[in-house]
Structure 1
Amino acid sequence: MADLQPSVLVVEDEPAQREVLAYNLESEGFRVIKAADGSEALLLIEEEQPDLILLDWMLPGTSGIEICRQIKSRPAFRMTPVIMLSARSEEVDKVRGLETGADDYISKPYSIIELLARVKAHLRRSRPATMGERLVYHDILLDSETHKVFRGEKELKLGPTEFRLLTTFMEKPGRVWSRDQLLDRVWGRDIYVDTRTVDVHVGRLRKVLGSHGGEDLIRTVRGAGYALG
């Protein structure tokens, strides 16, 4: 079952460095996915859909720069934060990395404390609920830390699935989510759930959100899926 634990893909060919990064990220509560080269990374990105990617520049075979370019060329992952890690510290290299599409650039050797701070900063922008942030849309407030939802002054009672659905919608207002995308994000890939189940839970969420007479803010997009607003 899916949850709000943020996931980080670590792409690093040096085993010791990869394990150090994984250990520190896991200690901070992140779910870590590990790849030793670019080809493995591209497969895991499709399979795991990580919330953030730590990408080493110097990889065997395809370079981190090219992997970053390929990641950012895919519409589904264009907004996934990529932090480039590199022993190249010259300004021209940093500019090249950022121009390729990387969201941040950290030179080696780096401080683990600084790296974790940057990871959290990017996730607060891209997946605020995973970092315990409050989400607000119109008159709806979702507190991801206490798992409480309010509409105006009224607290709403949502089941865990409806809570994850609403979180997904509120993190990306206006984005149209297909049923398959919602299944991956809300239910996870480890269990089989029929796409019609999405319709059932969206219906339940709508009912609770409208239980005090509020406007229906969930939009059905024919042939595409659902969106908030």
Structure 2
Amino acid sequence: MHGDRRPPTAPQPYPVVAGMETGDAKDELRRAIRHQRQDRSARLREQAAAAFAEVLATVPAVSSAATVATYAARPTEPGTGALLDQLAARGARVLLPVLGAGLARDWAEYTGPDDLLERAPGRPPEPGGRTLGGRAIAEADVVIAPALAVDSLGVRLGQGGGWYDRSLKQARPGVQVVAMVFPEEFYDASERPLPVEDHDVPVHAVATPDGWQPLPVS
């Protein structure tokens, strides 16, 4: 792993047992990881957010990208505030998801922290500018995606709505997808593989506050 790879400081949830249905295994993992994220203090989240920004600045696909598709984090997710500021400061165009009509997802440009609002309870912060359509992700040179977990084969565990998997299929061929997770949410697939289904889209790299690592996506 690029950077100082340290052992996770928190336990690694893995409530997956032999014979469990894939969907059930995903649900159990999601519950366990979300519960653990709730226990991370605001101070530790803020420190991690700054470290994520520093790590992602060393990823060539990110540092060279003119347009970056990423996300505005909810409070318990790996923080993106410092990353968004860093990207904007170097002049990158940043695209963020927006919830459209009928729960459809859209994209809009990030114009600064003052424009990010939680427009409905439980939703992530969204920019308030003109929406660009769901296919705007095809304009991105790199995608920095949220995840609840990633394993060493590039399997990504999302929140369960399937929107990111559908959206990632609209990215340009060859565009790198980098997932952000806390250290204990990066799993060794030889020992603790994440459950995967046919519609799941793999990621090309994983970033934690300790460093980043390319993944062997087939």
Whether these two folds match at TM > 0.5 is no
> RCO higher in 1 or 2 (8 Å CA, sep ≥ 6)?
2
TM-score, with structure 2 as normaliser: 0.36
TM-score, with structure 1 as normaliser: 0.34
